[in-house]
Structure 1
Amino acid sequence: MTSSHFSPVSFVRPAVDAELTAFVGRRRASILEIGAELEPVLDALDAMIGGGKRLRPAFCYWGWRGAGGGDEPGVYTAAASLELLQACALIHDDVIDNSDTRRGLPATHRRLAALHERSGWSGDAAAFGRGSAILLGDLCLSWCEDMYQSSALPAGSLAAGREPFDMMRTEVMAGQYLDLVEQTRGADTVEAALRVMRFKSAKYTVERPLHLGAALAGRHAGLAPVYTAYGIPLGIAFQLRDDVLGVFGDPEETGKPAGDDLREGKRTVIVAETLRMAGAADAERFRRLLGDPGLDAEAVEWMRSVISGSGALDACEERIAGYVADAAKALESDEIADGARSALADLIVAATTRRH
């Protein structure tokens, strides 16, 4: 399934990075004409978009190639616009979750709160940081639209891509709200966690970028069912792996403190499986500790031991393997252009085999 000499993400990354740098550079000049005070906000954006795995642009590009699209420069611009949507989602997500870090750096709202503190301004630094981050996220959402529309693809192609492009933006916001609701009402079922995962991650990370690529190439109708059969299970497997890493991941690899998802009280599948499979006493204590921002290393380690000992970790790994198999099966479709099939197979590995 994998190739030792080719990475479908690395193939796309240089062009995507160049498009983002050029677009944001042009917008930086116009924004600074409004006021020099905006420079730290733009620096925060540079820090955000400078990292990331570029998975969404990669799925968009290989969705395009799988639909018979050629190596057209304009498709990189359209694909790169998804990174601005991702920046919006992450900035807002960190505000909602009150996260301290993102990719090993201060979260955007923390970074802008620190600006307030350094400057000696009046008022609440934390509130300033949150408000500024929300505005920057909104700016990214606006620029995502502008960048997509400015790509040098035929007007008919861009119009054909509007439906998946618009649905992607709608679904990620709806999924984020469902996530908030489930955390607030303390839903502990696998079914509730999977519903959030489907809209907040699977459709947004894999399915809709693939649909966008197919639509830009004029083959949305024929390929959408195939890309859904591949994209939904792969997107769920991707998020399941992310949830495992949120509990067991190395902070050097994840950029987040160990056990941060437990402190935030995220209602993930691995949490739901733990509460379902653990003994009554362990499940009760686990539920009580979940979402406590003051969890110390000892408490986190105990919760990890319950997850592993109950069989919940193994259950999640089995789910990942099953979803990966479903995604791989979908690639057997004759609708996918042969040149993209191996790249899409490699993307399964890239999305799901990140290290603990």
Structure 2
Amino acid sequence: MPAAVGRVLDQVLADRVDRARTLNPLFADDVAERVARFSQGGHRTRSQLLWWALRACGGNDRASVVAGLRVGAALELLQTCALVHDDVMDDSALRRGRSALHADVCAQYAGAAAPARLEPFGKASAILAGDLALAWADDLMAETTLEPEVARRVRPMWSDMRTEMVAGQYLDIHGQAMASHSLPHALSTACLKSARYSVERPLALGAALARTDETTMRALRSAGHCVGMAFQLRDDLNDIFGDSRQTGKPVGGDIREGKPTYLIALARARAEASGDRHTLAILEHSLGRSDLSEADLDKVRDVLVATGARAMAEARIGRLVAQGLHHLDSALLDPEGGRRLRHVLNSAAPGGACHDHRRPDAAVPVAPLASAAEGACR
């Protein structure tokens, strides 16, 4: 399936780059080609979720299959926009194990432009590249043939998803600027920035393309919300306890940028409740410091373990995944499509413990998965 979406992307991107070249060769080489190269990477998680939701809901006819691949490709272009802009806002030099787009532009023109102008030029180029990816994603959606009834459901979902993505990103940078580390803010950010955009909306789009009923749609959206929250919590853990060789980006970026993550909010809340001034001082000293040393980052890791925040986050991931799969199992789905969808959801945010890159054999025990009867995701 990822290869099939890749072939659609190849065709669309080749056409768009050719059209860009007729406008201006420099623009095509520096911006359009970079968007095309970036969009051809990644795990295709969102398009896989859309595809298997489509198939699980019985979307097997040619029109549904073609639309599913095209909308899946549009999702990948939207993800390009999100990641390229995210790297600019976070001033991150790495993405997917390679130079971030803005850093790549700077490297190309190093020595050709004054140093004081080079970094702003690289970041401005990346912003334009992200805008171009978003425009191409919308073009692809607009050019996809949909039956009127399907279009009435799909197009508002696409519009809402784009707005939710921007809202989540704004909450993220607002939390950084205002040093807001409350649990409600962290959860709201995770919901909008990741849960809906990364999992819930792709599932809903696939189900809508398959013309599914509202009962099944509600079950899939509930499953997507739970697993999407787990997806973001896993990402938070991997950012500080993971290995950059596996994540493709520098470890500790969330701490150095002062991100309002659930993991940090939880550690702070537990330290405040117990009157642990030492822990609060470490967090206060570390969050938002771009020059934070590896030794100081280790102190933050120790705090996250000592407060129980890491173990609680791991346990919550387990509960969320279990509840999400329970919602999925409640829907009447095609057996094979449902099985594949279950596998992709389970892989999106693994419930097992996150291994500490400093100690490869160490893992935090995870509390037993909560019973699906717990009800709503917590």
Q: Residue 218 of structure 1: SS of its match in structure 2?
A: coil
Structure 1 residues 308 and 47: alpha-carbon distance in aligned structure 2, compared to 1, 3 A threshold:
farther
Structure-2 separation of matches of 1:282 and 1:306: 6
- Count of aligned pairs between the two proteins: 345
Matches within 5 A, 1:68-107: 68-70=58-60, 72-107=65-100
Per-residue CA distance 1:157-210 (angstroms, 9 max, x = gap): 344310111111111011111111122221222221110011110000111111
Structure 1 residues 121 and 154: alpha-carbon distance in aligned structure 2, compared to 1, 3 A threshold:
farther
Per the TM alignment, residue 342 of structure 1 is displaced from its structure 2 partner at its CA by 1.1
Matched-pair contact (CA < 8 Å) for 2:282–2:299: no
Name the stretch that deviates more: 324-333 or 214-223: 214-223
Structure-1 separation of matches of 2:175 and 2:74: 30
* Higher RCO (CA 8 Å, separation ≥ 6 residues): 1
Structure-2 separation of matches of 1:349 and 1:334: 16
1:175 equivalent in alignment to 2:165? no
- Residue 256 of structure 1 corresponds to 249
1:187 equivalent in alignment to 2:180? yes
Matched-pair contact (CA < 8 Å) for 1:273–1:312: yes
Per-residue CA distance 1:14-43 (angstroms, 9 max, x = gap): 101111111101111010111111202233
Per the TM alignment, residue 63 of structure 1 is displaced from its structure 2 partner at its CA by 1.6
Per-residue CA distance 1:94-120 (angstroms, 9 max, x = gap): 111111111111111111222332433
Structure-1 separation of matches of 2:344 and 2:284: 35
Structure-2 separation of matches of 1:118 and 1:150: 42
- Residue 298 of structure 1 corresponds to 295
Name the stretch that deviates more: 336-345 or 203-212: 336-345
Structure 1 residues 44 and 78: alpha-carbon distance in aligned structure 2, compared to 1, 3 A threshold:
same
1:316 equivalent in alignment to 2:305? no
Per-residue CA distance 1:299-338 (angstroms, 9 max, x = gap): 1111111111221100100110110111011022243332
Matches within 5 A, 1:112-261: 112-120=105-113, 124-154=117-147, 156-219=149-212, 221-261=214-254
Q: In structure 1, what residue type is equivalent to 2:51?
A: Y
1:340 equivalent in alignment to 2:332? no
- Residue 307 of structure 1 corresponds to 304
Structure-2 separation of matches of 1:125 and 1:344: 45
Q: TM-score if structure 1 supplies the norm length?
A: 0.92
Q: What do you get for the CA RMSD once the two structures are aligned? A: 1.8
- Residue 27 of structure 1 corresponds to 16
Structure 1 residues 258 and 62: alpha-carbon distance in aligned structure 2, compared to 1, 3 A threshold:
same
Give 5+ residue unaligned stretches, structure 2.
Answer: 356-378
2:284 to 284, 287, 303: 287
Name the stretch that deviates more: 132-141 or 327-336: 327-336
Matched-pair contact (CA < 8 Å) for 1:247–1:258: yes
Per the TM alignment, residue 121 of structure 1 is displaced from its structure 2 partner at its CA by 6.2
Q: TM-score if structure 2 supplies the norm length?
A: 0.87
Q: Residue 75 of structure 1: SS of its match in structure 2?
A: helix
2:44 to 40, 54, 57: 54
Structure-1 separation of matches of 2:90 and 2:293: 18
Structure-2 separation of matches of 1:120 and 1:191: 45
- Residue 16 of structure 1 corresponds to 5
- Residue 63 of structure 1 corresponds to 53
